[in-house]
Amino acid sequence: MIDFVVMELKAGDGGHGKVSFRREWRVPKGGPDGGDGGDGGSIIIRVNQDLSTLDALAGKKLIQASSGEAGNKRKRSGRKGEDLVVEVPPGTVIWQITENQAAHQRRLRVGVQQIAKRGEIRTSQYELEKEGQSIPALPDDEVLDSQKIDLVLKNTQFDPEQLGLIKLASLSTTADKITICQGGVGGRGNTHFKSSTRTTPFNAKYGSQGERRVVVFELKLLADIGLVGYPNAGKSTLLSRLTKARPKIATYPFTTLEPHLGIYQHPNSGKELVLADIPGLIKGAHQGKGLGFQFLRHIENCQGLLFVLALDEVQLANQLTQPAAVAKELWQQYEQLKGELKAYKRHLEDKQQIVLLNKADLYTAEMMTAAQQEFAAHQVQLIVASAATGTGLADLHQSLLAATTPES
């Protein structure tokens, strides 16, 4: 699943205004009739609920809207450039790496969420010595910070704040959209510069340059409950038991290499929840180890977290035969998981939490009792169940409902 894309977006430039004069039979020295340039096309980002990945954007380095055409004789305006609409899945966050001057001016004056009016966009004037002369070249304002782009591309641990990126938008519903790059405005033709003292103006205006941005599209899954646990904790099996999702299941670590979503329906109330089986993490995940940030970014939008705990069968058979030792090892595993989340983003520890000891069929009754007592001593409820056999899932159903029901 593609959930991270770096791309350049370029809106169309505005067309230049025209310098021309009426040249008709019996009107050899007519007045100015230069038309206005057309506005450039904009780039609009909007949510498509049917999308779940950024796959459609993968491999694209540049998306560019068309520019407006220059003005023409007889006061004819140039054609406008067409807008481009780019669709992204819900949960997409857009970060800016760098921008050109046109984009910078709008962001500071009215903000990226607002469309700048013509009067708020700077345009330059040019002047010709005679009709038909080539328009002087417009100074380039499209200087981008290439070093910052390289820094983001080479950084394996994507931390927007540390990289100094600007958050442009967080899109989650079909109503969410943003004109991320506004097209340039067309320049005025010389018709607009006629006056009582200036009957033959040879000046007009350039069209303004379209906005240009290099951005990061980052997808963070939208789910009610995110399943958190170490590799081989049985999260995929649990998801397949609770929903109709069919993630890959095997006994080796990191079987799940990308998040999986499933729709869960509570057996009694009928309430539907979106559950996300997120790739297992290891110690040091907040520093990018293992699947690192590929895992952690997807839990930020979850309403609650389901910690799935389980010990290795070898440990149970050979090393942790004493119930008290099993209980302490499980508590340490829970603390380590919470530590990884807290080290990544402190606010994650404030989410609603459910703690599940999975694979109950591998533990003795004494081990399960000792584990529940250990967690109770820390004011944490431990649910014991087996995704493989279905034992104990009734308690989990109730906890899932409670964790996603707002308090009155």
The domains of the chain, with CATH numbers, are 4-219 (2.70.210.12), 225-403 (3.40.50.300)
Tens digits of residue pLDDT in 115-137: 999 989 989 999 999 988 999 98
What whole-number distance in Å separates Cα of residue 230 and Cα of residue 358?
Answer: 12
Amino acid at 268: N
pLDDT average, residue stretch 142-166: 83
Say whether 248 sits in a helix, a strand or coil.
coil
- Asked if 35 and 75 count as a contact pair (C-beta separation under 8 A), the reply is yes
For all residues of the chain together, what is the average pLDDT? 86
Q: Considering only 109-113, 225-229, 241-245, which range has the smallest mean pLDDT?
A: 241-245
Tens digits of residue pLDDT in 229-242: 888 888 888 988 88
Tens digits of residue pLDDT in 352-404: 899 999 999 889 899 999 999 999 999 999 999 998 898 899 999 999 988 87
Residue among 58, 50, 46 nearest 1 (CA): 58
pLDDT average, residue stretch 3-28: 89
| Helix segments in 92-195, DSSP class H | 101-109, 146-154, 160-163
- Asked if 340 and 292 count as a contact pair (C-beta separation under 8 A), the reply is no
Torsions phi, psi for 7 (to 5 deg): -150, 150
- Asked if 277 and 262 count as a contact pair (C-beta separation under 8 A), the reply is yes
pLDDT at 283 over 70: no
pLDDT average, residue stretch 294-322: 77
Question: Which pLDDT score, from 0 to 100, does residue 259 have?
Answer: 66
Question: Which pLDDT score, from 0 to 100, does residue 220 have?
Answer: 80
Count of Cβ atoms closer than 10 Å to residue 196 Cβ = 5
Distances (CA, A) of 164 to 132, 217, 364: 48, 15, 52
Helix axes 365-376, 323-344, angle to 10 degrees: 50
Question: Which pLDDT score, from 0 to 100, does residue 217 have?
Answer: 95
Question: Which pLDDT score, from 0 to 100, does residue 252 have?
Answer: 38
What whole-number distance in Å separates Cα of residue 169 and Cα of residue 176?
Answer: 9
Tens digits of residue pLDDT in 325-351: 899 999 999 998 888 888 777 677 788
Residue among 14, 24, 17 nearest 190 (CA): 17
Say whether 221 sits in a helix, a strand or coil.
coil
pLDDT at 94 over 90: yes
- Asked if 215 and 60 count as a contact pair (C-beta separation under 8 A), the reply is no
Q: Rg for the chain (alpha carbons), in Å?
A: 30
| Helix segments in 155-245, DSSP class H | 160-163, 235-242
pTM of the model: 0.76
